[in-house]
Amino acid sequence: MRILIADDHDLVRDTIAAYIQSDPENTVAPAANLQDALDHITKDVPSIWCFWILTCPE
Give the tens place of pLDDT for each residue, 16-58: 999 999 999 998 988 888 888 889 888 887 676 666 555 555 5
- Residue 29 domain flag: yes
Range of the domain at 6: 2-51
Residue 8 located in a structural domain? yes
Within-domain flag for 7 = yes
Give the contacts of 26 (CB within 8 A, at least 6 positions apart): 1, 2, 3, 20
What pTM did the predictor assign? 0.72
Return the pLDDT at 25: 92
How many residues are listed for the chain in this entry?
A: 58
CATH number for 38: 3.40.50.2300
Residue 57 lies in a domain: no
